A and B are shown apart, each in its own frame.
Chain A
Amino acid sequence: MMAEISAQPGGRTVISRKAARLDGLKKNWYRFSRNRMSVIGLAAVVLIILVAIFEQWIAPYPEHTGAYVDFAHSNVAPGKEFLLGTDQYGRDVLSRIVFSFRNALAMGIGVLAVAAPVGVVMGLIAGYYKGRPVSNVIMRIVDVFLSLPSLVLALAVSAMFTPTLFNSMMAITFSWWAWYTRLVFGTASSVRNEYYIQSAELIGASRFHILFRELLPNCSSTILTKMTLDMGIVILMGAALSFVGLGEQPPNPALGTMIADGYKFLPDIWWLTVFPALAIMLIVLAFNFLGDGIGDMLNSGEV
Chain B
Amino acid sequence: MTDTLKFIGKRLIWSIFVLVGLSVLIFCIARIIPGDAAVMALGSRASEEAYESFRQENHLYESYPMQYVYWLRDALNGDLGTSTQTRRPVMNDIRDFLPATLELIFFAVILEILGGILLGALSARYAGGMLDNAVRVTSYLGIATPAFVWAVLFMLVFSFLLHLLPTIGRISDGMMRPPNVTGFMIIDSLIAGDLRAAWDIFKHLLMPGTALALAGTAQAARITRSSMLENMNKDYVNSEIASGIPMRRVIMSYVLRPSATPTVSIIALDFAAMLGNAFLVEQIFNYPGISKYGITAILNKDLNAIIGVVMVIGITFLIVNILVDIIASYLDPRIRLQGGGE
The residues of A with any CB-CB pair to B shorter than 8 Å are: 139-141, 143-145, 147-153, 155-157, 159-161, 232, 236, 239-240, 243-246, 259, 263, 266-267, 270, 273-274, 277, 280-281, 284-285, 288
Query: A284 vs B306: C-alpha distance in the bound complex, in angstroms?
Result: 30
Tell me how far the C-beta of B145 lies from the nearest C-beta in chain A, rounded to whole angstroms: 5
Partner of B145 from the list A140, A263, A284 (CB cut-off 8 Å) is A284
With a cutoff of 8 Å between Cβ atoms, the chain B residues found around residue A263 in the complex are 152, 155, 284
Instruction: Tell which of A141, A245, A259, A285 touches B148, judged by Cβ atoms closer than 8 Å.
Output: A259
The answer to whether B314 touches A147, judged by C-beta atoms less than 8 angstroms apart, is yes
Cβ of A273 and Cβ of B152 under 8 Å apart?
yes
Q: Are B144 and A273 in contact (CB under 8 A)?
A: no
B299 within 8 A of A: yes
Contact B152 A266 (CB under 8 A): yes
Minimum distance in angstroms from A56 CB to a CB of chain B: 27
Partner of A244, one of B19, B152, B160, B280: B280
A144 and B34 CA atoms in complex are apart in Å by 24
Contact B301 A267 (CB under 8 A): no
Besides A147-B18, A160-B301, A239-B146, 19 other A-B contacts (C-beta < 8 A)? A143-B14, A144-B18, A145-B25, A147-B21, A148-B317, A149-B272, A151-B277, A152-B310, A156-B26, A161-B34, A232-B143, A232-B144, A236-B146, A240-B146, A267-B161, A270-B156, A277-B149, A284-B143, A284-B145
Q: Are A156 and B310 in contact (CB under 8 A)?
A: yes
CA distance A281 to B146 in the complex (A): 8
Chain A positions within 8 Å of B144 at CB level? 232, 280-281, 284-285, 288
Main secondary structure of the interface of B (DSSP, over half): helix
CB distance from B39 to the nearest CB of A (A): 14
For residue B43, CB closer than 8 A to chain A, the reply is no
Judge whether B272 and A243 touch: CB under 8 Å.
Answer: no
Q: In whole angstroms, how far apart are the Cα atoms of A147 and B17 in the complex?
A: 11
Contacts A280-B149, A284-B143 given; indicate if A244 touches B276 (C-beta within 8 A).
no
Q: Is B273 an interface residue (CB 8 A)?
A: yes
Q: Once bound together, how far apart are the Cα atoms of A156 and B306, in whole Å?
A: 7
Hey, which chain B residues are within 8 Å of A280, CB to CB?
A: 144-146, 149
Give 1 or 0 for each of B293-327: 1 = CB within 8 Å of chain A CB: 01101110100001000100110011000000000
Tell me the complex Cα distance, A187–B280, Å.
35
* CB < 8 Å neighbour of A140 from B17, B19, B33, B153: B17
Q: Are A266 and B276 CB-contacts (below 8 A) given A147-B317, A149-B313, A280-B146? A: no
Q: How long is the Cα–Cα vector from A143 to B310 in the complex, in angstroms?
A: 16
Quick check: is B241 within 8 A (CB to CB) of the other chain? no
> A244-B295, A244-B299, A284-B143 in contact; A144/B25 too (CB < 8 A)?
yes
Instruction: Report the count of interface residues on B (CB-CB < 8 A).
Output: 49
Answer yes or no: B229 CB below 8 A from chain A CBs.
no
Whole-angstrom distance between the Cβ of A109 and the nearest chain B Cβ: 19
Q: A244-B299, A259-B149 are in contact. Are A285 and B156 (CB under 8 A)?
A: no
Number of A-B contacts (CB under 8 A): 127
Residues of B within 8 A of A159 (CB): 297-299, 301, 306
Q: How far is the CB of A41 from chain B (nearest CB, A)?
A: 11
Q: List 6 A-B contacts (CB under 8 A).
A: A152-B275, A152-B276, A153-B310, A240-B277, A266-B156, A277-B145
Complex CA–CA separation, A239 to B152 (angstroms):
14
Chain A residues, CB < 8 A from B145: 277, 280-281, 284
Is B141 interfacial (CB 8 A cutoff)?
yes
Q: Contacts A144-B21, A149-B275 given: A267-B160 contact, CB under 8 Å? A: yes
Residues of chain A contacted by B295 (CB below 8 angstroms)? 155, 244
Q: Are B17 and A240 in contact (CB under 8 A)?
A: no
Verify B276–A149 contact, CB threshold 8 A: yes
Q: A186 — nearest CB in chain B belongs to which residue?
A: B342
Q: How far apart are B58's CB and chain A's nearest CB, in angstroms? A: 16
Residues of A within 8 A of B245 (CB): none
Task: Report the Cα distance A277→B149, complex, angstroms.
Answer: 6
Chain A residues near B297 (CB, 8 Å)?
Answer: 159
> A130 to chain B: closest CB distance in Å?
10
Considering the chains assembled together, what is the distance between the CA atoms of A206 and B137 in angstroms? 49
CB distance from B168 to the nearest CB of A (A): 12
Q: Which of chain A's residues has its CB closest to B295's CB? A: A244
Supposing A147-B318, A259-B148 touch, asked if A140 and B298 sit within 8 A by C-beta, the answer is: no
| Chain B contacts with A in 156-213, Cβ cutoff 8 A | 156, 160-161
Smallest CB gap from B15: residue in A: A147
Please report the C-alpha to C-alpha distance between residue A151 and residue B310 in the assembled complex, in whole angstroms.
11
**By the criterion CB–CB under 8 Å, are B161 and A152 in contact?**
no
- Contact indicator A281/B141 (Cβ below 8 Å): yes
CB pair A240–B306 under 8 Å, yes or no, is no
Taken residue by residue from 244 to 273, chain B's Cβ proximity to chain A (1 for < 8 Å, 0 otherwise) reads as: 000000000000000000000000000011
